[in-house]
Amino acid sequence: MRTIKYGETSVIGWIFTELFGIQSYMVNGVRTSGKTSKAHFFQPASILEMQVYHNDLKNLQRIKDLRWAHLYKNIFSDITKNSVALFMVELLQKNLKQPETNETLFHFCEDAFLFLDIADAAITANFPIYFAIHLAQILGIRLSDNYSEENNIFNLAGGSFSNEKSATDQLSVEISFYISQFLKTIQPEDLREIKMNRITRISILKSLESYYSWHVSEFGTMKTLNVLSEVLA
């Protein structure tokens, strides 16, 4: 979710929904003070239950009513978890450009945010890499899990491992190895077993940013990576 100001008290919010995919909503009365303000609902990564007026012929929809579907315990207050959540939201924004229903993706994202909220420090540190890799699988830009002792260099353009060492779109042997480990990680709990330092984590995230740039039109750069580089253990 992201929002921009509109008029005196309203915002326009871009929200990923289960039924309609990514949608733009006009929300009145958000930027007001007092008990009637709805501003607390419209934070990045919020999970809401909404009743909406939907018209396929309109680009801007309206919300009839909303409430918390789940109220986080930690994401809004813990700086590390909040930074990871903001990274996840930005990555989704850069990939979800058309209002297409994708319930598999919606539930993956919902489960990911809920798990992040209760994850321990070791899982949280590795979680943005896990999310970026598994999101790519769902979006149809899958990273191939064909790593071996011989094929130990990941190719960004091809999305697979090879033994060639000359192309400019290839990652180092070390980073390629770690990516292979994340590709084998099915459950978030297994992230505890992948040990690395902050510098290596950021190098992997920057490599994944490059991977998305290869495969997603007008992807650009991730603003939240600068924040993650400061807070990840």
Residue 233 — very low, low, confident or very high, per pLDDT cuts 50/70/90?
Answer: low
Q: Provide the pLDDT for residue 70.
A: 94
Over residues 169-184, mean pLDDT: 96
What CA–CA distance (Å, rounded) separates 84 from 133? 14
What does the block give as tokens for 124? 């949280």
Assess whether pLDDT exceeds 80 at residue 36. Answer: no
42-85: pLDDT as tens digits: 889 999 999 999 998 888 999 988 899 999 999 999 999 999 99
- Asked if CATH classification 2.40.50.140 holds for the domain at 2-70, the reply, yes or no, is yes
Q: Check: CB of residue 130 under 8 Å from CB of residue 96.
A: no
> CATH: 3.50.50.60, 3.10.129.10, 1.10.10.10, 1.20.1440.120. Which one for 79-231?
1.20.1440.120
Assess whether pLDDT exceeds 90 at residue 37. Answer: no
Q: Provide the pLDDT for residue 5.
A: 79
Mean pLDDT of the chain: 92
Residue 27 — very low, low, confident or very high, per pLDDT cuts 50/70/90?
Answer: confident
What CA–CA distance (Å, rounded) separates 2 from 94? 12
What CA–CA distance (Å, rounded) separates 160 from 114? 30
DSSP 129: H
Distances in whole angstroms, Cα of residue 73 to Cα of each of 3, 116, 137: 23, 10, 29
Assess whether pLDDT exceeds 90 at residue 232. Answer: no
Assess whether pLDDT exceeds 80 at residue 225. Answer: yes
* Domain locations along the chain: 2-70, 79-231
The SS3 call for residue 22 is strand
Q: Provide the pLDDT for residue 168.
A: 78
117-172: pLDDT as tens digits: 999 999 999 999 999 999 999 999 999 999 999 999 999 999 999 998 767 789 99
